[in-house]
């Protein structure tokens, strides 16, 4: 089993997406374990909270090679950044491809030439497509015509980074529905929570919706950090410890809000997305925050705001 107390003292980690939802938690966690972190951030962006991380401004949608020269030697690179507007195909597709694919390749190239041993890529469980069965890492990736541009960019980045495996330990982390306090309504559970808080109805296929095993953001951050200890390249699902239908998740949210959840049935079959976690548990450790606890944390923080 992986050590829950990985010691990163003396390590230099280059992190993209450090101002984001997952990245801001991961940044604090890396520093708490002794890592020196350089955060590549968008020009004008600010890191959340109290941190002494070094920042280098870089536009990942362009040629940021000159900016990388400020970084120096690194032990590991974690690429979490994603371009905005990923739902708005075909607009922003150039930026999405640049950040997901070209930036990943440029960062890996830099890592090989500057001493890195590890490269962690934020991918998505969505690249498998829906399945009635729990999805293992050996499940096939869906064809381009079924994925859409954003998920195809994630899958393409995974494929290209495998070329670097003779030089780097490449961990392709496939996250399943990260959630937690402070997440924007672009994401599923935050959107459901705020709809219920406003008294809006929830549209669900067959009145039940898909089965999912979402992962709480702190568990996702711990799993990401644990990947820095891996000795071999691989793909790993990063998903939560409990499987529930979206209706069951909505009812948990409604209980915290003390609201009645209004379900609007949709006459279609639900698309289930459940990630098998055997490999995650073996290599990165077990997620610890269940749905009831995680949703309670989300809703109580939103109530306080």
User: What is the mean predicted confidence (pLDDT) over 94-122?
Assistant: 97
Q: Which of 90-94, 171-175, 257-261 has the highest mean pLDDT?
A: 171-175
- The Cα-based distances of 33 to 14, 52, 78, 167 in angstroms read 15, 14, 16, 25
Q: Tell me which of 193 and 48 has the higher pLDDT.
A: 193
Spatial distance between the Cα atoms of 63 and 65, rounded to a whole number of angstroms: 6
**Span between the terminal Cα atoms of the chain, in Å:** 39
Spatial distance between the Cα atoms of 299 and 296, rounded to a whole number of angstroms: 5
User: What is the mean predicted confidence (pLDDT) over 188-216?
Assistant: 93
% the chain with pLDDT above 70: 97
Length of the chain: 305
3-class secondary-structure state, position 54: strand
Q: Tell me which of 167 and 53 has the higher pLDDT.
A: 167
Work out the mean pLDDT of the chain and round it to a whole number: 93
Q: Which pLDDT band, with edges at 50, 70 and 90, does 248 fall under?
A: very high
Q: Which pLDDT band, with edges at 50, 70 and 90, does 146 fall under?
A: confident
Q: Would you tell me the crossing angle of helices 246-257 and 291-304 to the nearest 10 degrees?
A: 40
Spatial distance between the Cα atoms of 296 and 195, rounded to a whole number of angstroms: 16
- Asked if the model's pLDDT at residue 108 lies above 90, the reply is yes
Q: In whole angstroms, what separates CA 214 from the centre of its chain? A: 11
Nearest to 192 by CA among 247, 243, 244: 247
Helix (H) or strand (E) run with residue 187 in it: none
**pLDDT of amino acid 304:** 52
DSSP 206-249: TTT--EE--EEHHHHHHHHHHGGG-SS-EEEEE--S--EEHHHH
**pLDDT of amino acid 305:** 56
**pLDDT of amino acid 90:** 85
Q: Tell me which of 49 and 114 has the higher pLDDT.
A: 114
User: What is the mean predicted confidence (pLDDT) over 64-82?
Assistant: 96
Q: Which pLDDT band, with edges at 50, 70 and 90, does 1 fall under?
A: very low
Spatial distance between the Cα atoms of 258 and 256, rounded to a whole number of angstroms: 5
**pLDDT of amino acid 2:** 53
User: Which pLDDT tens digit goes with each residue over 2-11?
Assistant: 555 799 999 9
**pLDDT of amino acid 5:** 78
Helix (H) or strand (E) run with residue 204 in it: strand 202-205
- Asked if the model's pLDDT at residue 86 lies above 80, the reply is no
| CB of 285 closer than 8 Å to CB of 4 | yes
% the chain with pLDDT above 90: 79
User: What is the mean predicted confidence (pLDDT) over 141-160?
Assistant: 92
User: What is the mean predicted confidence (pLDDT) over 153-162?
Assistant: 97
**pLDDT of amino acid 301:** 65
- Asked if the model's pLDDT at residue 186 lies above 80, the reply is yes
**pLDDT of amino acid 63:** 94
**pLDDT of amino acid 4:** 57
Q: What is the β-pairing status of strands 211-212 and 244-245? A: antiparallel
**Strand residues in the chain grouped as ranges (E):** 12-16, 36-41, 54-57, 76-79, 118-124, 169-175, 178-179, 202-205, 211-212, 215-216, 234-238, 244-245, 263-266
Spatial distance between the Cα atoms of 300 and 305, rounded to a whole number of angstroms: 9
Q: Which pLDDT band, with edges at 50, 70 and 90, does 84 fall under?
A: confident
């Amino acid at each position: 089993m992986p050590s829950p107390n990985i010691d990163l003292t003396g390590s230099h980690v280059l992190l993209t997406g450090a101002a984001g939802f997952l990245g801001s938690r991961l940044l604090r966690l890396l520093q708490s374990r002794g890592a020196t972190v350089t955060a590549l951030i968008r020009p004008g962006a600010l890191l959340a909270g109290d941190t002494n991380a070094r920042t280098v401004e870089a536009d990942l949608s362009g040629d940021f090679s000159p900016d990388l020269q400020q970084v120096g030697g690194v032990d590991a690179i974690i690429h979490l950044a994603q371009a905005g507007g990923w739902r708005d195909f075909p607009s922003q597709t150039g930026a999405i491809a640049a950040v997901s694919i070209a930036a990943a390749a440029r960062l890996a190239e830099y890592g090989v030439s500057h001493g890195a041993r590890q490269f962690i890529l934020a991918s998505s469980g969505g690249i498998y497509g829906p399945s009635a069965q729990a999805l293992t890492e050996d499940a096939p990736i869906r064809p381009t015509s079924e994925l859409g541009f954003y998920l195809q960019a994630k899958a393409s980045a995974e494929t290209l980074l495998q070329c670097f495996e003779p030089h780097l330990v490449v961990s392709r982390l496939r996250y399943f529905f990260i959630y937690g306090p402070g997440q924007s309504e672009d994401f599923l559970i935050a959107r459901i929570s705020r709809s219920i808080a406003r008294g809006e109805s929830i549209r669900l296929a067959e009145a039940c919706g898909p089965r999912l095993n979402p992962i709480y953001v702190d568990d996702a951050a711990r799993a990401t950090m644990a990947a820095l200890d891996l000795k071999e390249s691989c793909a790993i699902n990063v998903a939560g410890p409990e499987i529930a239908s979206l209706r069951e998740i909505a009812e948990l949210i409604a209980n915290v809000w003390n609201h009645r959840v209004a379900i609007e049935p949709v006459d279609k079959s639900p698309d289930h997305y459940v990630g098998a976690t055997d490999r995650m548990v073996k290599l990165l450790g077990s997620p610890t925050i269940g749905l009831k606890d995680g949703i309670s944390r989300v809703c109580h923080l939103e109530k306080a705001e």
